[in-house]
Chains A and B, each alone.
Chain A
Amino acid sequence: MSSSKPSDDGLMDDIAGVVITAEEIQSRIAELGMQISADYADKDPLLVGVLRGVFVFMADLVRAITIPISVDFIGITRYGPSTRTQGVVRFTKDLEICIKERHVLFVEDVIDTGLTLRYILRSLETREPASLQVCTLFDKPRTRLFELDVTYTGFVLPDAFVVGYGLDYDERYRNLPFVGLLKEEAITRRRLPPGAQS
């Protein structure tokens, strides 16, 4: 059985097709790991990720890196139905490691508008790291609102709503090992209250 087709039919039923296979993802992450290992040799980098979507990529990326590293995470509110009435963006979990004069590699699962990333980078820059670069597994440059300097990019995503490998819709599908196209009916169904008919 291909690792792109898990037996969990409950999730697969909502997927219209595989956009990036699990094998392609792992191959690209291995390349990124090699490149980062070379670029950061003797720099003792700190990899920082923002919860929650990045945890899948971060877990595979750090294992593809062959030099000593540290890892830390931050949490941030994201715009959505549950936060839209709560004012503005804010951190929900801060770093536990001091980044001053450290070489920081900020790791993202996906960049689209760049709104979240810019907010975070500006905050990190005020803490005076020795360097601050960005690595993202997925990129959607078509919807980028600002120019952002991204050093490492895994894949450019198509202009479709995709899920899997950390990417969610309504907190689901992150555990798919591949990136898949979400069926429109799955989006419609999740919007409706329990028991309602679409």
Chain B
Amino acid sequence: MSSESKLAEPYPEPIPNQREGPIYFSHPAEEAFARVLDFYEIEWQYEPTTFPLEWDEHGRVLTAFAPDFYLVEDDQYVELTTMKQKLVTQKNRKLRLLHQLYPEVRCKLIYRRDVANLAVKYGLFEDGPMPDPCFDAEENGEDDENDEAGQAL
């Protein structure tokens, strides 16, 4: 039986993330992206919502997804992924579940190569290439902060 078929009803509601004080970005690419949005006067929020995706029979959330950015005016989420393409499977699965469970939510996934191309275009990391340390963390199986239910909920 696939994991999708274990989903119970009713689905939990999206959970707003309370933030006070300065924003600490999970990856330098996210901080750079935020600066670009500021430049173009795009109103954004950082990881404002966590979407439960899978939970057990007691209602305890097992998997959740908190897209990186919410573009307020466009009612559009944006997720930047800095993982190598072959390791994006898990994130694609979360996005598929997100669309399945919350069809009204629009979320755009921007892949590592596209992030890198934008970094080159906008000169985001003029002192060198896009920083790598977080790639290593993700390649070791760690996902973005707040994506996992245990961290986010």
The residues of A with any CB-CB pair to B shorter than 8 Å are 78-81, 83-84, 87-89, 112-113, 115-116, 118-119, 140, 142-146, 159-161, 169-170, 187-188, 191
Task: Please give the number of chain B residues whose Cβ is less than 8 angstroms from any Cβ of chain A in the complex.
Answer: 28
Please, which residues of chain B bring their CB within 8 A of the CB of A160? 113, 117
Q: Find out whether the CB atom of A80 lies under 8 angstroms from the CB atom of B123.
A: yes
- Please tell me which one of the listed residues A79, A88, A146, A188 contacts residue B122 in the complex, with CB atoms under 8 A apart: A79
In the bound assembly, the distance between CA atoms of A161 and B74 in angstroms comes to: 27
Measured between C-beta atoms, what is the minimum distance from A168 to chain B in Å? 9
Given contacts A112-B118, A161-B120, A187-B120, contact A145 B39 (CB under 8 A): no
16 additional A-B pairs beyond A116-B40, A159-B117, beta carbons within 8 Å, are A79-B35, A79-B122, A83-B39, A84-B39, A88-B38, A88-B40, A88-B41, A112-B118, A112-B121, A113-B118, A142-B110, A142-B111, A145-B71, A145-B74, A159-B114, A191-B126
B41 to chain A, nearest CB (A): 5
Asked if A79 meets B39 with Cβ closer than 8 Å, knowing A145-B71, A146-B74, A191-B126, the reply is: yes
Which of B36, B40, B110, B122 is A119 in contact with, Cβ under 8 Å?
B40
Q: A79, A170, A187: which contacts B40 (Cβ < 8 A)?
A: A79
By Cβ-Cβ distance, the 7 closest A-B pairs, closest first, are A81-B123, A115-B40, A79-B39, A80-B123, A143-B114, A161-B117, A81-B126
Mind listing 10 A-B residue pairs with CB under 8 Å? A81-B123, A84-B35, A87-B39, A89-B41, A113-B36, A113-B118, A115-B40, A159-B111, A160-B117, A188-B129
Main secondary structure on A side of the interface with B = loop
Residue among B39, B74, B110, B114 with most chain A CB within 10 A:
B39
CA distance A159 to B120 in the complex (A): 13
Q: B24 to chain A: closest CB distance in Å? A: 20
B78 lies within 8 A of chain A by Cβ: yes
Chain B contacts for A113, CB-based, 8 A: 36, 118
**A184's closest neighbor in chain B, by CB?**
B129
Taking the nearest CB of chain A, how far is it from the CB of B133, in angstroms?
Answer: 19
Q: Please name all residues of chain B whose beta carbon is closer than 8 Å to the beta carbon of A116 when the two chains form the complex.
A: 40
Which residues in B have their C-beta under 8 angstroms from that of A170? 123
**B13 within 8 Å of A (CB atoms):** no
Query: Are B117 and A143 interface neighbours, CB within 8 A?
Result: yes
B108: which A residues are within 8 A, CB to CB? 144-145
**Minimum CB–CB distance for A141 against chain B, Å:** 11
Contact with A along B100-120 (1 / 0, CB 8 A): 000000001011011011101
Chain B residues near A115: list those with CB within 8 A: 36-37, 40, 42
Q: Within 8 Å of chain A (Cβ to Cβ): is B128?
A: yes
Q: Please report the C-alpha to C-alpha distance between residue A187 and residue B125 in the assembled complex, in whole angstroms.
A: 11
Which residue of B is nearest A143, CB measured? Answer: B114
Chain A's closest residue to B117 (CB) is A161
B94 to chain A, nearest CB (A): 19
What A residues does B40 contact at CB under 8 A? Answer: 79, 88-89, 115-116, 118-119
Let me know if B118 and A143 touch, CB within 8 A: yes
Q: How far is the CA of A83 from the CA of B37 in the complex (A)?
A: 13
Residue of B110, B121, B129 ringed by the most chain A CB atoms within 10 A: B121
Q: Which residue of A lies closest to B35 (CB)?
A: A84
Given contact pairs A112-B121, A191-B128, A145 touches B78 in the complex (Cβ within 8 A): yes
Q: How far is the CB of A130 from chain B (nearest CB, A)?
A: 26
